[in-house]
Amino acid sequence: MALRCRKPVHCLALETESSVSMDRSDSMKTFLLTLALTATAVTGVQAAQNPDASPCDGVDDDKQTLECSVYSRTTAEQLLKENFDNLLKRVQSQFVANKSQFNDFTSKLKTAQQAWEKLRDADCAVDVFPSAAGSKAFTISENDCIARMSDERSEYLESIAQE
């Protein structure tokens, strides 16, 4: 980081402030990373103990509802990505003899998917609007909306280019 100052004393003060600020930032990043890894490890152990269990089993409070909504969103988005990738594979196998047509269709699919993702995000922003951004209610509503719309899109993608 380049520091501009007129007097060496000011440079030292700025450099000290800057390094303290970076140390705090690094400490916070390390803390958050450790927290995320711990949560992942705990979830992994729980999943290993009962592979059919999900955070949506036996939801009793807001914290569990939030965990369930995160799980639902993550699962739906993973399925959406898998279904899109599977669609591209189906299209590739169907247009193996016509590379130009394959490239054109693939381009259209990717453009449509990107447009749909923007529409989904905009629709979900409208859906959760009354909730305060950053609140549990907002996050839960947003996750639920994205999960619901992603599931619907996944079903649609599964129906395209079926032989």
- Alpha carbon 23 to chain centroid distance? 28
Measure the CA–CA gap between 58 and 61, rounded to whole angstroms.
9
Which residues have C-beta within 8 Å of that of residue 21, sequence separation ≥ 6? none
What residue type is assigned to position 122 of the chain?
A: A
Query: In angstroms, what is the C-alpha Rg of the chain?
Result: 23
* Closest-CA residue to 152 (of 119, 110, 107, 108): 119
Ranking 42-56, 76-90, 143-157 by mean pLDDT, the lowest is 42-56
Confidence class for position 41, pLDDT limits 50, 70, 90: low
Mean pLDDT within 22-28: 52
DSSP state of 132: P
| CA torsion angle 101 104 110 113 (round to 10) | -80
pLDDT-derived band at 45 (thresholds 50, 70, 90) equals low
CA distance 86 to 90: 6
Residue 103's contacts (CB-CB under 8 Å, 6 or more residues apart) are none
Q: Decide: 146 and 120 in contact? Cβ < 8 Å.
A: yes
pLDDT tens digits along 145-160? 999 999 999 999 999 9
Closest CA to 77 of 135, 36, 131, 116: 116
